[in-house]
Amino acid sequence: MKFDNSYATLDPRLYHKQPPTPLKNPQAGHFNPIIAKRIGWSDDVELMQNWVSILGGEVIPNGFAPLAMAYAGHQFGQWAGQLGDGRGLLMAQVRDNNDQLIDLHLKGIGLTPYSRMGDGRAVLRSTIREYLCGHAMTQLGIASSSALGFVVSDTAVRRETIEAGAALLRVSDCHIRLGHVEWIASFAPDLLVEFTDYMIDTYYPDSRQANYPVVDFLTQVVKKTAIMIANWQLIGFAHGVMNTDNLSITGSTIDYGPFGFLERFNPAWINNHSDYTGRYSYQNQPAIGHWNLNVWLPHFMRLTQAGVTKTALAECLAHYETSFMQHYQHGICQKLGLAYPIQQPNESISAPDLATNRLALTLAYDLLSIIEQNRLDYTNSFRALLAVIDASNFQHEHDLLQQLTLSLDAKQLKLWQDWKTRYLHYIDQYTEANEVVSTLQKHNPVYILRNAMAQRSIEMAEAGDFSEVERLFQLLSNPYDVQNIATQADVTPPAADAPEIVISCSS
């Protein structure tokens, strides 16, 4: 692997260098060959042979420089003070096949100075959820961490019951969180200049070309965060714990905990059962992204660089809503197979084009309303549109469509049929059916990680059988293609009156 451990060269107040505390008798859980190839892990025989011992914390390969990062954050809207890697270590930074910087972060690997009341460990169930979801999101095309693999062990970890300790080697383009800057502002303000330079040079080097590099960098962070959250809304993903310490400065999804994918569509859905007020419900995510950036940006007012003014930061934050809306509107129309171009600043649009775009958007919002009113499955409802256009070539989607329409009462069926007529009319007038089909296929997955799917793989893994983790890993590797390794449960939402699987912060 090509090491580039640049974080370890920053001021030592920002981290604590230490080795992992090994797990007892680590055993293979799952290994991700796609990531191994991408980061050059699979080119090294010793790394391949020792991956279980490395993930178990027993072996630290040459080139690794483990450290726990210090950061702070706002949790559930309140200032939480110092946090930091309490159970994970940045083991190394490497350059992947495309020369992109990748962090290797080992989670579940013992106490650090930032562990506070925690035990430094992670349990198997949350490790499997993070492993599968990071992979699912990556393969869905959403910026996200994923993992090289995970191990389980004989280390006993107390949560509500005694569970097996596990560790996951997470890979992400970045582990700097909004909370890093909050930590600096509170505990080492003299480091802000150096740290901002590091963030720009490492993650946003193009901002150096701008008139005001700091302002440009902050604008990019705002836009990337907005786009990430627009992608979450489109795919139907609820992160569950959008604290400022869980948002990366590169707009990559990190820190999977009590997340979930929407099934029966309820915008107010709260997946995290520890979130009593619904602060992090699905529908609140866009506003919370804005809230987080709004508490983050003012810290940069301490900088004396040219261009960093209150007005500039306000303008920077204003990009959030524009970027979010552009990407969401573009994306929700793509989910209908329709074009809705992202309008560039200063780009004018003709009146007829504007009217056509509005029509597409209205169709999208009207469909969402039908899905919501009938608590239909979010993913399946969009995928079923393929059968509206071409029933003969899309058997799986034809079945989905039949199930969905069978669940509608007479009034809702009429609404659906009217919608379908308008949709087909739009396609007839403004676009080509084959283009619609290919867009629908690219933007509407067949498979997402439903809570019940993850749960089944966890129960089997807890009994020592990782075959379901392997099957889901394969299934979620190609989420947009119908596959013969799928089961009916992979495409079935819970019954409307079924009790929800309880997902809490305990991990």
Give the interface with ligand AMP as residue ranges (CB under 6 A).
Answer: 83-87, 114-115, 118-121, 241, 245-246, 255, 257
173 versus 255: smaller Cβ distance to Mg ion: 255
Residue whose CB is nearest to Mg ion in the complex, by number:
255
Type of residue at 233 = Q
255 versus 275: smaller Cβ distance to ligand AMP: 255
246 versus 334: smaller Cβ distance to Mg ion: 246
CA dist., res. 372 & res. 368, Å (int) = 6
Of these partners, Mg ion, ligand AMP, none, which one is at the site of residue 240 (CB under 5 to 8 Å by kind)?
Answer: none
- Helix segments in 408-496, DSSP class H: 410-430, 433-443, 451-462, 467-477
175 versus 299: smaller Cβ distance to ligand AMP: 175
61 versus 86: smaller Cβ distance to ligand AMP: 86
Q: Is 245 a catalytic residue?
A: yes
Residue whose CB is nearest to ligand AMP in the complex, by number:
118
Of these partners, Mg ion, ligand AMP, none, which one is at the site of residue 120 (CB under 5 to 8 Å by kind)?
Answer: ligand AMP
Q: Are 246 and 285 in contact (CB under 8 A)?
A: no
Closest distance between Mg ion and the C-beta of residue 68, in Å?
A: 13
56 versus 257: smaller Cβ distance to ligand AMP: 257
Cα 299 versus chain centre, distance: 26
Of these partners, Mg ion, ligand AMP, none, which one is at the site of residue 121 (CB under 5 to 8 Å by kind)?
Answer: ligand AMP
Type of residue at 489 = A
Q: Is 381 an interacting residue with respect to Mg ion (CB under 5 A)?
A: no
Q: Is 377 an interacting residue with respect to Mg ion (CB under 5 A)?
A: no
Q: Provide the angle, in degrees to the nearest 10, between the axes of the packed helices 467-477 and 124-140.
A: 20
Phi, psi of 370 (to 5 degrees): -65, -40
Angle at 233 between CA 443 and CA 88, to 5 degrees: 105
Q: Are 334 and 340 in contact (CB under 8 A)?
A: yes
Closest distance between ligand AMP and the C-beta of residue 312, in Å?
A: 31
Cα 450 versus chain centre, distance: 15
131 versus 340: smaller Cβ distance to Mg ion: 131
**Long-range CB contacts (within 8 A, 24+) of 303-306:** 303/192, 303/193, 303/196, 303/214, 305/212, 305/213, 305/214, 306/212
Type of residue at 173 = D
Q: Are 465 and 220 in contact (CB under 8 A)?
A: no
Closest distance between ligand AMP and the C-beta of residue 77, in Å?
A: 14
Contacts of 427 (CB under 8 A, 6+ apart): 337, 338, 389, 433, 436
Binding characters for Mg ion, 249-278, by CB under 5 A (x = yes): ------x-----------------------
Of these partners, Mg ion, ligand AMP, none, which one is at the site of residue 471 (CB under 5 to 8 Å by kind)?
Answer: none
Complete DSSP assignment for 242-280:
--GGGBBTT--B---SS-EE--B--TT---BTT-TT-TT
Of these partners, ligand AMP, Mg ion, none, which one is at the site of residue 224 (CB under 5 to 8 Å by kind)?
Answer: none
Closest distance between ligand AMP and the C-beta of residue 119, in Å?
A: 5
Of these partners, ligand AMP, Mg ion, none, which one is at the site of residue 257 (CB under 5 to 8 Å by kind)?
Answer: ligand AMP
72 versus 101: smaller Cβ distance to Mg ion: 72
The radius of gyration of the chain's CA atoms, rounded to the nearest angstrom, is: 23
Closest distance between ligand AMP and the C-beta of residue 422, in Å?
A: 44
Tokens 């599968």: give the residue. 132
Structure tokens at 132: 């599968």
Of these partners, ligand AMP, Mg ion, none, which one is at the site of residue 5 (CB under 5 to 8 Å by kind)?
Answer: none
Short-list 52, 54, 82, 84, CA closest to 67: 84
Binding characters for Mg ion, 105-134, by CB under 5 A (x = yes): ------------------------------
- Dihedral angle over CA of 501, 502, 506, 507, nearest 10: 10
CA dist., res. 494 & res. 507, Å (int) = 24
Closest distance between ligand AMP and the C-beta of residue 183, in Å?
A: 11
Q: Which of 103, 173, 245, 377 is catalytic?
A: 245
Closest distance between ligand AMP and the C-beta of residue 257, in Å?
A: 5
Size of the residue set binding Mg ion (CB under 5 A): 2
Q: Is 246 an interacting residue with respect to Mg ion (CB under 5 A)?
A: yes
Contacts of 395 (CB under 8 A, 6+ apart): none
Of these partners, ligand AMP, Mg ion, none, which one is at the site of residue 83 (CB under 5 to 8 Å by kind)?
Answer: ligand AMP
Closest distance between Mg ion and the C-beta of residue 246, in Å?
A: 5
Considering only residues 148 to 207 of the shown chain, the ones binding Mg ion according to CB under 5 A are none
Binding site for Mg ion (CB under 5 A): 246, 255
As annotated, the active-site residues are: 245
